[in-house]
Structure 1
Amino acid sequence: MNRIYACPVADVPEGEALRIDTSPVIALFNVGGEFYAINDRCSHGNASMSEG
């Protein structure tokens, strides 16, 4: 697994998400203090995952 610096931890409060403009675009989530990153595009509705 590769790790990249995306932003300061404080930029993603617990329970929130942040769009990271990489290629492909990533949605970064803070869930209970644990961070998860997925592709930002929903395959069902072609919507942004980071926007909810």
Structure 2
Amino acid sequence: MNRIYACPVADVPEGEALRIDTSPVIALFNVGGEFYAINDRCSHGNASMSEGYLE
């Protein structure tokens, strides 16, 4: 697994997401203080995952 510096932890409040402009673009999520990164492109359409909401 590769690691990159994305941003300060404080830039992604709990329950929020942030778009990281890498190649490919990454959606970074803070879920209960744990951070998860996925491809920002929705597999069902041309939409940004980081602009969605967490359930």
Quick check: TM above 0.5?
yes
Alpha-carbon shift at residue 19 of structure 1 (Å) = 0.1
**What is the TM-score normalised by the length of structure 2?**
0.92
Which ranges of structure 2 fall in alignment gaps of 5 or more residues?
none
Aligned length: 52
CA deviations on 1:8-48 (whole Å, 9 max, x unpaired) are 00000000000000000000000000000000000102100
Alpha-carbon shift at residue 2 of structure 1 (Å) = 1.2
Which contiguous aligned blocks of 4+ residues in structure 1 show a shift greater than 4 angstroms? none
Structure 1 Cα separation of the partners of residues 3 and 22 of structure 2: 13
CA RMSD of aligned residues (A): 0.5
**Percentage of matched positions with identical amino acids:** 100
**What is the TM-score normalised by the length of structure 1?**
0.97
